[in-house]
Structure 1
Amino acid sequence: MASAGAAIAATAGCLGATDDDPPEAYTTPAAAEFDGVVDSQWLTENLDDVHLLDVREEEAFLDARVPGAYHFPNSEMLDSYAEETADGFEASPDAIAWTLAEAGIESGDDVVVYGAESNLWETYAIYTLNALGHEGQVSLLDGGFSVWDAGDGETTTGSPEAQEGEYEAEVDTGVVATREFLAGNVDEDGAAIPILDMRSPEEYWGVDERGDLDRFGHVTGATNLNFVQSIDDEAGRLRSPEDLETLWIDDAGLSSDETAVAYCQTAIRASVGWFVLDQLGFDDVRNYEGSWADWGTLSEDDGYYYTTGEDTGTVVDTFA
C-alpha cells in the first residue's frame, strides 16, 4: 500500500494547479511512507479491493458514507472488547466479531478504517482489529471522510445491507499491555521499558483529575507525549513521517528495538501512539487497555507505582 501511495503522490506532484485540484490532504506524506496508511487518491484506485469501516457517529454515517462502508460503533470497541478484572485481563470479542461478520469481513481481508479526519477513534479501531488477531492489512484513511468528500469522492446514503458471514477472532495479546505486564516493568525508581503517557501534561501531573478514581498522576517512569502532537490538526491528518520521527525517535528518545507501552485514560488516545510507533517500525509496541482508568484504582502497596505533582516526570512538547 505504501509503494502505491508513493507512486500516486509523485504523479500528483506533477499536475498543474487549477481550481479543480483536490484538497491538500488528498495525497499525504504518511500514505506514501507507511504500510498502514492510505490516502483518498489511493482509495479511489483501490475501492473495490478493500473493506471499509466508518467510525463516525451514526447520524453522519447514514447521511453520507463511502460506498461499501459499514458502521463500526465506538461503543462496541470501548464497552465490549476487554477489561481488567480481579482475575486478570479478560477479552470478550463476540460483539465486535458479530459486527465485522455483518460487514462481510473475514480475518484475512484488507480493511480501511476512516473517520471524519485522522484521529483517535480510527486508530483505536485499527488497534482493536489487531488485538482480535486480524490477519489482513488494516489501514488508516489519512484525512478521513472530510477529504474524501471534499475531493468529490463517490458517496452514498443510508445503511448497507447486512451480510451473512462469520468472523473468527483469535485474541492477540502481543499488542495489549495488561496491568500485570506494566507492573512487571515498573518499580518505585522508574520503568524498565519506555512507557508513553498520551494524555495532556495536566492529566499526567495529576492536576486535571478525571473520573472517580483513588489517585491521579502518571505511571512512575512514564514520559508524557500528548497524542495531539502526532496529528496535523489544520489538515486533519497524520504529521509527516519526518515530523513523527523527530517527535518519537529524536525528542522522545525511543528506539524501534525496544518494547514500548502507550496509555492514556481509557486506551483510546493511546492508540494513536500505538499506531504511530507500529508504522515507524517498532517490533513490540503495546496499548495498555486499562490505562489510567485502571491504574488509578490500584495501590502502590500491591506494586502499582505512580508519581504525582506538577512538573514531575518528563514532558515532550515538540509540537505542543
Structure 2
Amino acid sequence: MSHDSSAGARFTRRSVLRSGAVAGGLSLAGCLGSLRAAEPELYTTPAAAEFEAVVDTAWLEEHLEAVELLDVRDADEFTDGRVAGASRLPDTDLMRDHYEETDDGYEASPEVIAEIAAAGIVPEDDVVVYGSGSNLWETYAIYTLRAIGHDGTVALLDGGFPVWEAAGGDVETGTPEPEPDTAEYAPELETDVLATREYVADRVHEDGADVPLVDNRSPEEYWGIEADGPVDRHGHITGAINVAFTQNLLEDDEGSRLRSPDELERLWLEEAALDPDEETISYCSTAVRGSVGWFVMEQLGWETVRNYEGSWHDWGALTEDDGYYYTSGEGTGDVIDAFD
C-alpha cells in the first residue's frame, strides 16, 4: 500500500471527521454498513473520537488507503487473518532493543530499522498499529517508532484486529509476498520520549524524586512482595506512584479497548493528581507496560512524558550505594486505584 500524501497528516483526522459529520450528517457508525449500524458501539470508540493518535474501525475503513498498517501479533495470527494490506513487525523482541549506546551517543538499532524498512515503512508515512486489542505491544510499537524519530503520525487502532474482523472489514490470509527492498529508513533518535538509567537517577534521591514517576506494574510488584525479574531488589523507584496499566483498559467479548477520555482524565488527572504541564517518567519491568502509561499521558496532553527503557529489570539490578534508590514493603508509596 502506498502512502497518499494528498490525504494529509493524521493530525488532520479530527477536522476531516468533523467536516464530514457536519456537512453531510454522516453517522460514523453507519459508514461501515448495516452490521455496524446495528451495534455502533463496537466500531466507534470515545477514545478515537477524542484522541489524536487513536482511530477506530469506522475511521480506518474510510482512510485505509492513506495509511500504512503494522500488525504486532504473532506470525500464526497474522497468517490466519490480518487487516488487508497490513505488514507485520515480525519480532516484538526487536523492539526491546531499538536503540544502542555508541561512542557518539545513542543511536537507533539497525536491526529494528531493517525490520521497519522491510515492512515498506518510510519515515514520512502515517502509520496505524494494531494487535489483539488496545494493549502492551501495540503501544510499545508506537513508542518504538516515535523513539526512532518517525516523522509521520503513528496511531493505535482501538480494539485491534478482533473488532476490525467483527465489523466485516477487509481481511487477508496466508503469507504475503515480500515487499520490494526499496524502502529507506534514516532514523534520528528522539530522546525526549525515552529516559535512560542516568536520566532517572539524576532526578531521584533518598527521600523522593524531583520529577513525577509512574510505575505501571501491579501493586504487588510495586511493593516488592511479588518478585519482578532476575534482580536482587524488589519494590519501586523511590518517589514513584503506582498506576497499574490495566486501569487504562476495558475488557469485553471483543478484547480490550481504551477507557473513555473522561475516565482516563479521572484516573490520571484527578486520582493520580498528575499535571500534564510537568514532565513525567513512566516505567514498568522492561518499558512495555510503561508504554501504555506513556501513550495515554501523551493523549491527555502531556508536554513531555518519557518511558524508562531499562525499567525495573535495570533499576532492580543496581545498588543504593551508587544512588539508585528504591522503596519496598506492602503499603509503601501511593497506589492509585480509580476503578475498584
TM-score > 0.5, shorter chain as reference: yes
Of the candidates 242, 255, 259, which is equivalent to residue 239 of structure 1?
A: 259
1:228 is aligned to 2:240: no
Q: How does 1:76-91 map to 2 (within 5 A)?
A: 76-78=94-96, 80-82=97-99, 90-91=106-107
CA distance in 1, matches of 2:153, 2:99: 22
TM-score by length of 2: 0.88
Match status 1:138 vs 2:150 = no
Percent identical among aligned pairs is 53
Distance in 1, matches of 2:152 and 2:237, equals 34
What CA distance in whole angstroms lies between the structure 2 residues aligned with 1:63 and 1:156?
8
Look up the match of 1:150: 166
Distance 1:26 1:213 in 2: 43
Structure 2: tracts of 5 or more residues without a match: 1-12
Which 4+ residue blocks in structure 1 deviate beyond 3 angstroms?
2-10, 12-15, 17-20, 82-85, 87-92
Correspondence 1:213 to 2:231: yes
Match of 2:305 among 279, 282, 285: 285
* CA-to-aligned-CA distance 1:166-192 (integer Å, 9 cap, x gap): 111111111001111111111011011
Distance in 1, matches of 2:270 and 2:106, equals 36
Question: What is residue 79 of structure 2 aligned with on the other side?
Answer: 62
> Cα distance 1:19–1:287, how it changes in 2: closer, same or farther (>3 A)?
closer
Tell me, in whole angstroms, the C-alpha distance in 2 between the residues paired with 1:81 and 1:69: 21
- 5+ residue gaps, structure 1, are none
Report the alpha carbon displacement of residue 210 of structure 1 after superposing the two structures with TM.
2.1
Q: Matched residues in 1 for 2:34 and 2:108: separation?
A: 51
Question: What's the counterpart of residue 191 of structure 1?
Answer: 209
Letter in 1 for 2:14: A
Per-residue deviation, 1:3:
3.8
8 Å contact from structure 2 (residues 100, 106) kept in 1? yes
DSSP-derived class of the 2:314 partner? helix
Q: Which residue of 2 is the match for residue 51 of structure 1?
A: 68
Residue type at the aligned position of 1:146: P
CA distance in 1, matches of 2:148, 2:134: 22
Corresponding residue for 1:303?
Answer: 323
- Is the 2:29–2:40 Cα contact (8 Å) retained in structure 1? no
Shift of residue 224 of structure 1?
Answer: 0.2
Other-structure match for 2:14: 2
Q: Distance in 1 between matches of 2:191 and 2:198?
A: 12
Q: CA deviation at 1:287?
A: 0.1
Instruction: Pick which of 95-104 and 173-182 moved more.
Output: 95-104
Aligned residue for 1:256? 276
Q: Take 1:190 and 1:268, find their aligned partners in 2: how far apart are those partners?
A: 24
The Cα of 1:23 is off from its aligned counterpart by 5.9
Residue of structure 1 in register with 2:128 after alignment: 112
- How far residue 198 of structure 1 moved from its aligned partner, in angstroms, is 0.1
Offset at 1:162?
Answer: 1.9
Equivalent AA in structure 2 for residue 144 of structure 1: G
Question: Is 1:171 paired with 2:183?
Answer: no
Q: What amino acid sits opposite 2:204 in the alignment?
A: V
Cα shift at 1:305: 0.5
Equivalent pairs counted in the alignment come to 317
Q: How far is 1:13 from its partner?
A: 6.3
Please report how far the alpha carbon of residue 22 of structure 1 lies from its aligned counterpart in structure 2 after TM superposition: 4.6
Single out whichever of 61-70 and 18-27 deviates more from structure 2. Answer: 18-27
Q: 1:142 to 1:306 in 2, by over 3 A?
A: same
Equivalent in the alignment of 2:291: 271
CA root-mean-square deviation: 2.3
Secondary structure, counterpart of 1:52 in structure 2? strand
1:36–1:264 CA distance, 2 compared to 1 (3 A): same
| TM-score, normalization by structure 1 | 0.93
